Amino acid sequence: MATLPNFLESREKLAEFFSQQFTDKEKGQAFEDFCKALIIQMQNPNQSSLEVIPDLSRIETTKGSHDKGIDLKGFGEEGQLVLIGQSKFRIRTIEEIDSVISKFEGFIQETDHQQPPQQLSLLKHNSSLGDGYGITFIVLTMSDLRSSENGLLAKYSRANLSSCAFHRSLEERNKILFIDGTDILSILKANFSKLSGKLPDIELRFYGQILQVENAYIGVVSGYELKRLYHEFGEAIFFENIRLFLGEGSKVSKSGGDSVNQVILKTVKQEPEVMLARNNGITFRSSKIIAGDTTILNLSEASIINGCQTTMCFVKGLIDDESLEKDNISLYDKPPFVLVKVVETNNSWDIAKSANFQNEVVQIDLELARYFRPQIVQRASVNLGIFAEQASLENQKDTPYSIIKTMTKVTVDYDSTRSTFIGLFSRVLNNTIAGDYTALRTDLLEEFLSNDDTGQKIFGLIFDMNSKFLSDYSKISELKSRKSQEKDKNQESVADTLWSRLEKPNYQAFMNILVACVINRRNIYAQSRQIAFHEMESFLEGVINFNDKQRTKYYLECWKAITTVAIENKVAREINLKQLFAKFRDLGTGVGFSNLYETITSTYLLELEL
């Protein structure tokens, strides 16, 4: 089971990790962005006991030299300002605290002058608002402010500096919050633990009695109950799902209408009473099920293996109705309802592959899910201090995983990683493009699962290798761009047209693995030389440790070979592009790749080696 990353071992290591990522000039803005992402996650009602933070509809960073000491502004549902924040990577003295609080006070005094007299009077006499007119103030720093009775915050509270009176008035009204490095460490641990792959033990409440048939339990559950589980356990309840939430506006249906998720959201918001009739339902897997009473199941190591999209539509679309709770009416007896099946088993993948998905799932994703899915890549990347960008996930910015993007400058592409993984674990190279699940090497995948169960080692090497090749691609693209400016656009070559194909992740992976084979002098798709799992690490390291200038030359020579073998010297308008791309793909078949590999190693690299 994966552990938390090394940079979460202590506050000092966390601060050191952040400092290593950014220059002094970059650090201020980077820390602001980090604090913004942190506050978004602190909005989770189960995130520690920070009730002082108001509900926010949006939060903004105030970039520029005229921010007057205010880095962050949070706004409520009606657009009113409810939160003001200052992020300061290090606070070393009580005078620095005083300076921050003074700027808060100055902001309020300036607001006084800007308000119309009638409105100002209303604000000041509304006792529910308190000082600052309902605004909560927050200070975030990586420093330790509370390590002892003589910590900086305690010293500041006992001091008699210019802003202390204002600070005390805010404290009395619970309108100020200091989040120091120890607090930040705790928040990150809580959030990143949801990405570690540890499946939660949960209590699932049903609406009405539960039917048991052998190892399956079936019943009806309110959407509010599923929303509660997500707020309590976050992404951890989806760890064994084929994928994560595709977003509220995920791709439209084939008929051009609303997407499945948009339709579900409309039902949740506008017609919750018909949800049960329209939805296919949700499937949980649990290693052990204990019935509480007739309406409660206690699930050990639980995961929603089918129904992530529906669950997240409940999370996004339902608003808790406090008036019901005052009348002792449980939200969990209120529509929308959904059919829920809970299966007691240790094998989630057979169930997941046979389940009826409302959003289309590509067959290769079903076959790969045990070995490669967004949750596994996210877990590995967090432990490595890397952010894996996934274009298909619209809501990535709203999840705990989004925090890592603000903490590191190292970003990799999820889709390129996926295509590279498929190519390395397939019998033919062009499976990076074809995505044929029957071409996967299940023997190699099973060894991967047995020897690198978290995926961290192999994914880390793929991240590094692809980053190296992305640098080569960028250098050559820049050179090609300069040359293309010197010639007539009508004379654009077929090679230039083909080169643009490398913008696609699956074609990038095709090219990267080809060059990796040439660098290692090994055709890993030849029947007699198929790669074994224990050789995969050294194969990838062979590229990573290769001389940078030589690797770029190899990349270019391999590309020249592709264009020579695939096409002749014709201009783009003289060739059918569909046929051209088909020729490219043919170079990744068994015979096609062997011929290409032999051509490159026997001809194109001779000049480099002389």
Answer yes or no: are the C-beta atoms of 233 and 202 closer than 8 Å: yes
**Residue 294 burial (CB count, 10 A):** 10
Q: Residue 400 and residue 468: Cα distance in Å, rounded? A: 28
The predicted pLDDT at position 492 comes to 57
What are 62-103's pLDDT values in tens digits?
865 455 678 999 999 888 999 999 999 999 999 999 999 999
Q: Residue 316 and residue 395: Cα distance in Å, rounded? A: 11
Into which CATH architecture does domain 6-188 fall? 3-Layer(aba) Sandwich (3.40)
Q: Would you kindly state where each structural domain of the chain is located, as residue ranges?
A: 6-188, 197-361, 410-609
Per-residue pLDDT, averaged over 32-46, amounts to 84
Mean pLDDT of the chain: 86
Residues in a beta bridge with 342: 217, 284
Answer yes or no: are the C-beta atoms of 585 and 430 closer than 8 Å: yes
Residues in a beta bridge with 296: 205
Q: Residue 172 and residue 314: Cα distance in Å, rounded? A: 37
Residue predicted with more confidence, 197 or 525: 525
User: Which positions ≥6 away from 82 have C-beta within 8 Å?
Assistant: 54, 55, 56, 74, 75, 76, 134, 135, 136
Among 262, 259, 299, 264, residue whose Cα is nearest residue 281: 264
Q: For strands 81-87 and 136-140, give the pairing.
A: parallel
Torsion of CA 548, 553, 558, 561, to 10 degrees: 180
Among 59, 7, 61, residue whose Cα is nearest residue 29: 61
* Residue 554 C-alpha from the chain's centroid: 33
* Residue 280 C-alpha from the chain's centroid: 27
CA-to-CA separations, 152 to 85, 97, 98, 185, in angstroms, rounded: 19, 8, 11, 18
Residue predicted with more confidence, 487 or 283: 283
Would you call the peptide bond into 54 cis, given omega within 30 degrees of 0 as the criterion?
no
Answer yes or no: are the C-beta atoms of 580 and 494 closer than 8 Å: yes
Q: Residue 253 and residue 28: Cα distance in Å, rounded? A: 43
The predicted pLDDT at position 120 comes to 39
Q: Residue 597 and residue 515: Cα distance in Å, rounded? A: 9
**Residue 339 burial (CB count, 10 A):** 17
End-to-end CA, the chain:
49
Among 463, 459, 474, 471, residue whose Cα is nearest residue 547: 471
The predicted pLDDT at position 128 comes to 38
Is the confidence at residue 360, as pLDDT, over 60? no
Q: Residue 90 and residue 152: Cα distance in Å, rounded? A: 12
Among 370, 460, 459, 358, residue whose Cα is nearest residue 418: 459
Instruction: Report DSSP state, residue 2.
Output: -
Answer yes or no: are the C-beta atoms of 244 and 393 closer than 8 Å: yes
Q: Residue 511 and residue 469: Cα distance in Å, rounded? A: 9
Helices 456-484 + 505-520 axis angle, to 10:
100
Residues in a beta bridge with 213: 216
Answer yes or no: are the C-beta atoms of 290 and 348 closer than 8 Å: no
The predicted pLDDT at position 134 comes to 78
Q: For strands 288-291 and 296-300, give the pairing.
A: antiparallel
Q: For 320, what's the count of Cα atoms within 13 Å in the CB-facing half-sphere? A: 11
% residues pLDDT > 90 (the chain): 62
The predicted pLDDT at position 125 comes to 35
% residues pLDDT > 70 (the chain): 84
The predicted pLDDT at position 231 comes to 87
Least confident of 264-273, 322-331, 560-569, 594-603: 322-331
Among 40, 87, 75, 6, residue whose Cα is nearest residue 400: 40
Answer yes or no: are the C-beta atoms of 337 and 275 closer than 8 Å: yes
The predicted pLDDT at position 321 comes to 60
Instruction: Report DSSP state, residue 253.
Output: P
Counted residue by residue, the chain has a size of: 610
Confidence tier at 248 by pLDDT (50, 70, 90): confident
What are 568-593's pLDDT values in tens digits?
655 555 667 788 888 888 999 999 99
Q: Residue 182 and residue 552: Cα distance in Å, rounded? A: 44
The predicted pLDDT at position 328 comes to 52
Instruction: Report DSSP state, residue 440.
Output: B
Tokens coding 145: 């402010």
What are 98-126's pLDDT values in tens digits?
999 999 999 888 765 444 444 434 334 33
Helices 533-544 + 456-484 axis angle, to 10:
40
Answer yes or no: are the C-beta atoms of 426 and 439 closer than 8 Å: yes
Answer yes or no: are the C-beta atoms of 437 and 367 closer than 8 Å: yes
Confidence tier at 351 by pLDDT (50, 70, 90): confident
What are 466-476's pLDDT values in tens digits?
999 999 999 99
Answer yes or no: are the C-beta atoms of 435 and 421 closer than 8 Å: no
Q: For strands 282-286 and 303-306, give the pairing.
A: antiparallel
The predicted pLDDT at position 575 comes to 66
Burial (Cβ within 10 Å: 0-12, 13-18, ≥19) of residue 578: exposed
What are the E-state strand segments in 251-344?
Answer: 282-286, 288-291, 296-300, 303-306, 337-344
Per-residue pLDDT, averaged over 297-301, amounts to 96
Confidence tier at 183 by pLDDT (50, 70, 90): very high
Per DSSP, the residues of 523-566 read: -TTSGGGPPPHHHHHHHHHHHHTS-HHHHHHHHHHHHHHHHHHH
Is the confidence at residue 252, as pLDDT, over 60? no
Tokens coding 98: 């005083």
The predicted pLDDT at position 412 comes to 95
Would you call the peptide bond into 336 cis, given omega within 30 degrees of 0 as the criterion?
yes
* Residue 187 C-alpha from the chain's centroid: 17
**Residue 541 burial (CB count, 10 A):** 14
Residues in a beta bridge with 220: 339
Is the confidence at residue 254, as pLDDT, over 90? no
**Residue 496 burial (CB count, 10 A):** 16
What are 382-432's pLDDT values in tens digits?
999 999 998 876 656 678 898 999 999 999 999 999 999 999 999 999 999
Answer yes or no: are the C-beta atoms of 522 and 594 closer than 8 Å: no
Greatest pairwise CA separation for the chain in angstroms: 86
